[in-house]
Chains A and B, each alone.
Chain A
Amino acid sequence: MSIEILLLIAGMGIVTYLPRVIPFLWLGNKTLPRWLENVLQNVPYAALGALIFPGILWVHDNVLFGLLGGAVAFFFAYRGSHMIVVVFSAIFALLLLNLFVEPFF
């Protein structure tokens, strides 16, 4: 392994780990103001929204593929299907789109 790559990996590892670990060590026993606690409680669902959109549009050159795959996933997820079923249904939808719709674009 070349020394440059080794240093690069070490550096990347450190700057990735620090933001992940500091809040756990720093906020440990602190009581935060109520509004801030509430904001942090809001974070997971806000983050999910931001992680899904607009990224899902770029899973294929044609934005419709991502939207349709997302719609299939949403349909199964909303009905309460198991997470694995949701994931497989979306993959299967994309497989069908790639097989049968892709050739026409």
Chain B
Amino acid sequence: MAYVETQTLSNSQFKQGLSSGLPIALGYAPAAITFGFLAETTGLTLMEATAMSMFVFAGAAQYMALNLIAIGTGALEIIFTTFIVNIRHFLMAASLEKKSEPDKPLKKAGYAFGLTDEVFAVTATRPNIVTTGFIFGVFLIAYGSWVANTIIGHWMGGFLPDLIQNSMMIALYALFIALLAPAMKENRKVILLAISAALLNGVFSLFMAEGWAIVLATIAAAVLLELRSIYDRKMKGEL
């Protein structure tokens, strides 16, 4: 009986994950269609473009790879650039690990594959412990959209009119704002964290690669705000 109950619970968590991931699926559509289209113009076959979306699943890095392929860059350099662009996910994974429900390493290794910026943002901003089912739900709907729309983009070329495609560029930023704004209302620390990381990133991205700038800005803001909390606790004599 208990077994059946946990099964139903995790099943509904999975469904909740699917529905919370829907905005990501929507936001990925134009990005993946564009990727498929650009891959086609870069000379990748449908199989190659689809395989890249299936096995890499990293938007920014995939775009960058196309650019580098187009200008004739070697594979090792492309792989190294991919690593630099995606190193920020190390930090996100460490953060989500502390928030996620304890589970078998194999399951965690499974959903870890899907930890894009957007999947992290939707799962890590949940109020309590995040369940495995929920993370899988968010991951799979986002992944499905990414792969399916890569195929559509490659097939149909510039299938979406430019007007729509240009307007949909805002979608993923709107998603991040949708996750941030409600939390800002409840907690002043969230405001300080987001604004300081945004400003630091603005400065860092002037003189370093985007991937590093995001990592450093995030760490710096997270550490600064923790130092501030430690200082506050000291002043109150708690330490």
User: Could you tell me which A residues sit within 8 Å of B by CB distance?
Assistant: 1-2, 4-13, 15-17, 19-25, 27-28, 32, 35, 37-56, 59-60, 65-66, 69-70, 73-74, 76-78, 80-81, 83-84, 86-87, 89-95, 97-99
* Additional A-B contact list (13), CB under 8 Å, known A12-B78, A15-B79: A7-B75, A9-B56, A12-B56, A15-B80, A16-B56, A17-B112, A17-B113, A27-B97, A44-B120, A45-B197, A49-B198, A52-B176, A54-B202
Chain B residue at minimum C-beta to C-beta distance from A96: B167
Instruction: Specify which chain A residues have a CB less than 8 angstroms from the CB of B58 in the assembled complex.
Output: 12, 16
**22 interchain pairs, CB-CB under 8 A:** A11-B76, A11-B78, A11-B82, A12-B79, A16-B82, A24-B109, A41-B95, A42-B189, A47-B95, A49-B201, A49-B217, A50-B200, A50-B217, A53-B199, A56-B173, A69-B170, A73-B173, A83-B178, A87-B171, A91-B170, A94-B166, A98-B166
- Cβ-defined contact, A51 with B108, below 8 A: no
CB distance from A8 to the nearest CB of B (A): 5
Residues of B within 8 A of A16 (CB): 56-58, 61, 82-83, 86, 89
Q: Looking across the interface, which residue of chain A has its beta carbon closest to that of B214?
A: A50
Q: Is the CB of A66 within 8 A of B170?
A: yes
Q: Which residues of the other chain, B, contact A44 by a CB distance below 8 angstroms?
A: 92, 95, 120-121, 124-125
- Count of chain A to chain B residue pairs whose CB atoms are closer than 8 Å in the complex: 289
Q: Which chain B residues lie closer than 8 Å to A1 at the CB level?
A: 45, 47-48, 51
Q: How far is the CA of A77 from the CA of B55 in the complex (A)?
A: 33
